[in-house]
């Protein structure tokens, strides 16, 4: 436990009082000596008496134009009298916990056993400072980002009286894992080959189903309930000496689709091109490409699993094993958690070989297409016979604040990207634009149109 010390204000007042008293005696200025004595008496009284703390609202200096909402705000209970120094030594340390998230606002609860001077910092926001009374303090910040978010850092000093403090010390809240939201999608493209013995889709092979395939004569192995008595009566012979030929209805089998969602998390770019090379900081109220990608993959996974298909997940940025295709709510929760942890790891690595995909699966590649790696992987999968759909998640861009050389460089990069998109579309690989994490309207219409195109 650190010792109590006199704050800078108390030390300054002590020095001023001593100087005034000495000068008053030397210069025979008794009024000056009296003022110095009064200052020293105030310091001694403050050290001897327990003080009171008046709660103050935190001073938030966040720039709304840059960061959106305020950095933090506090809800403070009614103040109580501060304890004396001896009791303050027995205080437990302040603690901080996360209190949940709602609508992009993330809450922390700071518990203070005594009067405390705090400074709250969240990455991307300017700090907020306050002198707070004992009790529970509610901190919050708003962010549109998903994934692993750093939360609250609290630097604090405990206050025993108006002129005595102990500290400083630091509390750090654990990081917050924000899973991507799920947007509604209805009609989706399917692979050219359906797998399994059951499912929600009509396959080309013969089996148990609802859609009529043809009418055929009865053969050993056909089920009696498949006999079509009307056709048998219409086509059967009237000659009593000949046996009646039975006819059966044969249907298309039902099957499921296997979908492999491939996330390209090798880069994460902001709508502000000026931040791509690290020139400016990514702000909490602007969605980046990885946020859009997580939302797109989570929405596609939810829609495919909702219609009974099996969905897997691979990431071009890592060498870790892909999530194998599966179905059901628990598998969807697993996919969303894996998406929240996906992020760029250092500089975007060169992609030498496309990940191996389950035979007959539909491949949905989610990428910004800012380099040749993702486009080459899509072409390789298409050459192997997979149906491939590319989701373009580059957000709507802004070229504000760019110098002339930066403007030229940005135009070159975007022109190369448009060339990749054109090459993919000419080779029969559709590219669907998904620009925002808040809506899927445009992308849903394009996916609905692709669902009507035969594989």
Angle at 105 between CA 100 and CA 109, to 5 degrees: 45
Residue 356 pLDDT class (50, 70, 90 cuts):
confident
- 310-315 and 388-392 strand pairing: unpaired
Compute the distance between CA of residue 294 and CA of residue 300 in angstroms, rounded to an integer.
10
Say what the pLDDT of residue 390 is. 95
Q: Which residue has the higher pLDDT, 141 or 321?
A: 141
Indicate left, alpha or beta for 163 from its phi (over 0: left) and psi (-120 to 50: alpha): alpha
Cβ neighbours of residue 383 under 8 Å, at least 6 residues apart?
none
pLDDT of residue 78: 36
Q: Where are the alpha helices (DSSP H) in 253-310?
A: 289-306
Report the C-alpha gap between 365 and 375 in whole angstroms: 9
Strand 116-122 and strand 128-132: pairing? antiparallel
Non-local CB neighbours of 131 within 8 Å, separated by 6+ positions: 53, 54, 55, 56, 115, 116, 117, 118, 159
Nearest-angstrom CA–CA distance, 453 and 446 = 11
Residue predicted with more confidence, 24 or 261: 261
d(CA 207, CA 193): 15
Q: Of 85-89, 157-161, 298-302, which one has max mean pLDDT?
A: 298-302
pLDDT at residue 269 in the model: 87
Amino acid 239: pLDDT: 58
| Range with the poorest average pLDDT among 137-151, 158-172, 355-369 | 158-172
pLDDT at 76: 37
| pLDDT higher at 220 or 42 | 220
Asked if the model's pLDDT at residue 234 lies above 80, the reply is no
- Highest mean pLDDT of the ranges 117-121, 209-213, 434-438: 117-121
Q: What confidence score (pLDDT) does residue 378 get?
A: 93
Helix residue ranges, H only, 173-271: 229-235
The helix (H) or strand (E) run that includes residue 350 is: none
**β pairing state of 135-142 and 105-112:** antiparallel
pLDDT for 211 beyond 80 = no
Comparing 95 with 20, which gets the higher pLDDT?
A: 95
Average pLDDT (130-156) is: 88
- Averaged pLDDT of the chain: 77
**Strands 362-367 and 258-263, how do they pair?**
parallel
Is the alpha carbon torsion for 403, 408, 413, 415 positive or negative?
Answer: positive
pLDDT at 204 over 80: no
pLDDT tens for residues 255-288? 678 899 999 988 888 888 887 766 556 667 788 8
What pLDDT shows up at residue 75? Answer: 37
Q: What is the pLDDT of residues 44-82, one digit of tens each?
A: 665 554 433 333 233 333 343 333 333 344 333 333 434
The string of pLDDT tens digits covering residues 275-332 is 776 655 666 778 889 999 999 999 999 999 988 888 999 988 886 778 888 889 999 9
* Percent of the chain scoring above 90 in pLDDT: 22
Q: Does the bond joining 212 to the residue before it have cis omega, within 30 degrees of 0? A: no
pLDDT in tens, 410-437: 899 999 999 999 999 999 999 999 988 7
């Amino acid at each position: 436990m650190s010792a109590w010390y006199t704050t800078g204000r108390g030390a300054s007042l002590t020095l001023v009082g001593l100087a005034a008293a000495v000068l008053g005696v030397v210069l025979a200025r008794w009024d000056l000596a009296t003022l110095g004595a009064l200052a020293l008496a105030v310091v001694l009284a403050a050290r001897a008496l327990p003080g009171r703390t008046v709660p103050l609202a935190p001073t938030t200096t966040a720039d709304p134009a840059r960061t959106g909402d305020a950095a933090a705000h506090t809800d403070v209970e009614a103040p109580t009298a501060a304890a004396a120094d001896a009791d303050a030594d027995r205080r437990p340390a302040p603690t901080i916990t996360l209190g949940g998230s709602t609508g992009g606002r993330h809450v922390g609860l700071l518990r203070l056993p005594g009067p405390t001077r705090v400074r709250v910092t969240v990455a991307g926001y300017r700090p907020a400072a306050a002198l707070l009374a004992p009790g529970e303090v509610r901190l919050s910040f708003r962010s549109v980002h998903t994934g692993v978010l750093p939360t609250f850092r609290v630097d604090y000093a405990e206050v025993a009286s108006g002129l005595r403090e102990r500290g400083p010390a630091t509390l750090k809240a654990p990081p917050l894992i924000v899973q991507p939201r799920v947007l509604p999608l209805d009609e989706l493209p399917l692979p050219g080959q359906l797998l399994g013995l059951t499912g929600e889709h009509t396959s080309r092979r013969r089996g148990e189903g609802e859609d009529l395939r043809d009418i055929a004569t009865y053969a050993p192995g056909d089920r009696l309930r498949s006999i079509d008595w009307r056709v048998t009566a219409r086509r059967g012979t009237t000659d009593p000496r000949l046996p009646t030929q039975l006819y059966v209805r044969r249907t298309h089998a039902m099957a499921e689709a296997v979908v492999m969602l491939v996330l390209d998390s090798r880069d994460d770019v902001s709508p502000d091109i000026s931040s791509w090379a690290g020139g400016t900081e990514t702000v909490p109220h602007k969605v980046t490409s990885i946020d859009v990608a997580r939302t797109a993959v989570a929405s596609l996974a939810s829609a495919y699993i909702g219609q009974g298909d099996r969905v897997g997940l691979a990431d071009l940025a890592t060498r870790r094993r892909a999530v194998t295709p599966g179905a059901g709510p628990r598998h969807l929760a697993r996919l969303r958690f894996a998406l929240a942890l996906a992020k760029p790891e250092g500089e975007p690595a060169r992609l030498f070989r496309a990940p191996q995909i389950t035979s007959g699966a539909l491949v949905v590649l989610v990428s910004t297409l800012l380099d040749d790696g993702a486009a080459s992987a899509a072409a390789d999968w298409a050459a192997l016979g997979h149906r491939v759909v590319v989701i373009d998640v580059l957000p709507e861009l802004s070229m504000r604040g760019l110098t002339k050389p930066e403007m030229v460089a940005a135009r070159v990069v975007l022109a190369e990207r448009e060339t990749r998109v054109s090459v993919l579309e000419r080779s029969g690989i559709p590219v669907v634009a998904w620009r925002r994490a808040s809506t899927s309207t445009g992308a849903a219409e394009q996916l609905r149109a692709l669902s009507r195109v035969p594989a």
